[in-house]
């Protein structure tokens, strides 16, 4: 659950710290006071994008920080897989936003990428706004909603994998029919194959040729330096002679026994030097400049480089390309056999996909009937007593989700046929339908904090009270927040926060306080009548007591 929230220099908030409770909490206040600021701030902590205008005017940066506690196995597994060791009883998430458009994201004081906030956020908080009801209207998303209802995720993944195997084979077949196995390409491919074959390439020969070329082209320089080195080591006054004379002199000193090891070492050095001088002479005598050989090497290097430009950057790549060309030649020469084999492979892959997709369809249909029953129960609690809800299936071409297209249909009144939501449901009806679905899906998804941002628009009276009761019911299993304009909803909450805007000189500041019971009754009176007259306060007190009794009875 969300334990507390800290905001500094965020939009109209100078600095604010709020502690939250479990259960159902509401935020009320005049239009424009900044009720949705909190929701947006929590969204930012879940990885939403930010803009520089979210930073309070005159400030360089904004800070948003929240402390959560969670028992989510999804989050624990996710963090473990990424080698993050965080205390889930106190998960401190913060973002520091700069005017330059950058943000510093931290979890428990450790820098993390915003992508991790998004990953965690989907299991930590579910934010539902008025606009999200439009999601229900688009039948493209209905299959996803159905699959969120108690579906076998492993089976869905199997269908997706089998479809990708089939699609890959199908694309390969199409490519070979149109391009890869075109008989008109045979002459050109044969020319390419022969060109590489006649070159008789050997892996590593280009490097050896480059070495030989460098040696031949620098023959004069190498020869001169070798001659100089040999002369310095082996001429009459060279190093060999001088070391020999030194050894002779040392051998005639008998008075110092301590010189014996030194004499022995220099003696050994002398024989090593003699051996290496002979090796240098051998290397020098082996040197010869062969202009014809240099020309041959350069011609061969030119031939290899020409092939590299056409077929690959290395001899290994050229030989791989040669093998691919020969495979294409073989495939074209045996075109019908290759295509027929691909068609068989494709048909086999489709059959495997189809079997799994049909298995998934049966499970989906069973789940659809259960979901229909659950939704009808929930929306009837919200005074849609006559509504009928149905999930209909139709078959579509193979795709990664299977062979199914589903659409939610609804009828609000007896005698009316079932129709798509967009043709029937009003804003208030959609809100109730979405709320009912949230109650159902939250039990499955185990999200511990659910936030509703003015989804109760378009309703009033007993329907508003029913929505408040439903949110209170949801709060038995999750922490629930709601931004609302309705006194009936607010009166059902366990905790009530008032959002107000304070102007001092040229500055405007948003303030949020938790209301006492007396403060709640005064706020309910203001919501209902815009005044705190005795009649308004009496009516507000009656509403508060009545709705509190309702939710306590339900509990």
- pLDDT score at 130: 66
- pLDDT score at 237: 65
Domain layout of the chain by residue ranges: 1-112+448-514+545-555, 185-333
CA distances from 268 to 244, 263, 281, 299 (A): 11, 9, 20, 48
Q: How many CB atoms lie within 10 A of CB 296?
A: 13
Question: At residue 4, what are phi and psi to the nearest 5 degrees?
Answer: -155, 165
DSSP label at residue 154: H
Strands of the 91-98 sheet, one edge to the other? 13-19, 2-10, 61-68, 91-98, 103-107, 110-111
SS3 443: helix
User: What is the DSSP pairing of strand 2-10 with strand 61-68?
Assistant: antiparallel
- pLDDT score at 224: 76
- pLDDT score at 459: 83
Per DSSP (E only), the strands in 253-345 are none
CA distances from 222 to 148, 218, 281, 389 (A): 77, 6, 13, 92
**Residue 456 and residue 425 in contact, taking contact as beta carbons nearer than 8 Å:** no
- pLDDT score at 346: 96
d(CA 456, CA 434): 10
- pLDDT score at 398: 95
Distance between alpha carbon 398 and the CA centroid of its chain, in Å? 26
Which stretches of 15-66 are DSSP H helices?
35-45
CA distances from 315 to 299, 320, 469 (A): 16, 9, 75
- Angle among Cα 265, 266, 270 to the nearest 5 degrees reads 120
500: enclosing H helix or E strand? strand 495-504
Q: Is 459 exposed, middle or buried (0-12, 13-18, 19+ CB in 10 A)?
A: buried
- pLDDT score at 453: 87
CA distances from 130 to 111, 431, 455, 474 (A): 33, 8, 5, 18
d(CA 135, CA 433): 12
Which residues, in sequence order, are bridge partners of residue 399? 402
CATH of 1-112+448-514+545-555, one of 3.40.50.300, 3.10.20.30, 2.50.20.10, 3.50.50.60: 3.40.50.300
d(CA 319, CA 177): 26
SS3 106: strand
What global pTM score does this model have?
0.66
Q: Structure tokens of 374?
A: 């659950």
d(CA 50, CA 28): 24
d(CA 260, CA 263): 5
**Residue 201 and residue 319 in contact, taking contact as beta carbons nearer than 8 Å:** yes
10-residue block means of pLDDT along the chain (555 residues)?
94 92 93 81 92 89 94 84 84 93 91 92 84 76 87 91 96 81 80 92 92 78 76 74 78 74 82 82 71 87 94 93 89 81 95 96 95 92 89 95 94 88 78 84 79 84 91 91 93 94 82 94 92 92 92 71
Nearest CA to 489 out of 519, 444, 456, 538 is that of 456
**Maximum CA extent, the chain:** 130
Which stretches of 201-290 are DSSP H helices?
205-217, 219-234, 239-251, 260-286
DSSP label at residue 62: E
Rg of the chain on CA atoms, in Å: 41
Residues in the chain: 555
């Amino acid at each position: 659950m969300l334990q507390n929230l800290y905001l500094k220099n965020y939009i109209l908030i100078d600095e604010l710290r709020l502690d939250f409770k479990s259960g159902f909490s509401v935020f009320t206040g005049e239009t424009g006071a900044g009720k949705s600021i909190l929701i947006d701030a929590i969204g930012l902590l879940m990885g939403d994008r930010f803009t520089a205008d979210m930073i309070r005017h005159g400030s360089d940066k904004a800070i948003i920080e929240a402390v959560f506690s969670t028992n989510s196995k999804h989050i624990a597994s996710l963090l473990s897989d990424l080698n993050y060791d965080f205390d889930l009883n106190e998960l401190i998430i913060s973002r520091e936003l700069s005017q330059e458009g950058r943000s510093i994201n931290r979890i428990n004081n450790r820098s993390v990428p915003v992508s991790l906030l998004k990953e965690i956020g989907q299991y930590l908080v579910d934010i539902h706004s008025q606009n999200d009801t439009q999601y229900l209207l688009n039948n493209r998303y209905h299959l996803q909603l159905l699959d969120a209802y108690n579906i076998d995720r492993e089976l869905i993944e199997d269908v997706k994998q089998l479809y990708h195997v089939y699609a890959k084979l199908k694309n390969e077949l199409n490519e070979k029919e149109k391009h890869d196995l075109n008989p008109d390409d045979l002459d050109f491919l044969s020319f390419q194959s022969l060109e590489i074959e006649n070159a008789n390439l050997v892996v590593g020969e280009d490097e050896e040729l480059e070495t030989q070329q460098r040696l031949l082209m620098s023959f004069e320089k190498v020869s001169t330096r070798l001659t100089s080195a040999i002369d310095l080591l082996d001429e009459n006054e060279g190093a060999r002679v001088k070391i020999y004379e030194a050894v002779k002199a040392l051998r005639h000193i008998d008075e110092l026994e301590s010189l014996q090891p030194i004499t022995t070492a220099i003696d050994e050095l002398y024989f090593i030097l003699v051996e290496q001088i002979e090796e240098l002479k051998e290397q020098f005598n082996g040197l010869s400049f062969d202009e014809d050989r240099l020309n041959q090497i350069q011609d061969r290097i030119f031939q290899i480089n020409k092939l590299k430009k056409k077929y690959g950057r290395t001899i290994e790549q050229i030989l791989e390309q040669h093998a691919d060309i020969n495979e294409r030649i073989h495939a074209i020469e045996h075109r019908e056999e290759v295509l027929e084999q691909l068609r068989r492979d494709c048909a086999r892959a489709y059959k495997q996909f189809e079997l799994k997709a049909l298995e998934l369809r049966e499970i989906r249909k069973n789940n659809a009937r259960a979901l229909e029953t659950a939704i009808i129960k929930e929306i009837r609690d919200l005074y849609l007593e006559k509504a009928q809800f149905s999930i209909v299936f139709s078959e579509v071409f193979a795709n990664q989700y299977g062979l199914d297209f589903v659409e939610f249909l609804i009828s609000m009144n007896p005698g009316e046929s079932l129709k798509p939501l967009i043709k029937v449901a009003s804003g208030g009806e959609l809100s109730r339908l979405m709320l009912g679905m949230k109650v159902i899906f939250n039990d499955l998804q185990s999200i511990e904090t659910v936030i509703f941002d003015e989804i109760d628009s378009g309703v009033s009276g007993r329907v508003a009270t029913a929505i408040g009761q439903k949110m209170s019911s949801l709060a038995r299993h999750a922490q629930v927040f709601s931004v609302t304009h309705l006194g009936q909803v607010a009166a059902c909450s366990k905790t009530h926060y008032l959002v107000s805007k304070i102007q001092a000189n040229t500055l405007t500041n948003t303030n949020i306080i938790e209301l006492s019971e007396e403060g709640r009754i005064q706020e309910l009176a203001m919501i209902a009548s815009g005044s705190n007259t005795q009649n308004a306060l009496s009516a507000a007190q009656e509403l508060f007591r009545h709705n509190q009794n309702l939710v306590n009875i339900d509990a």
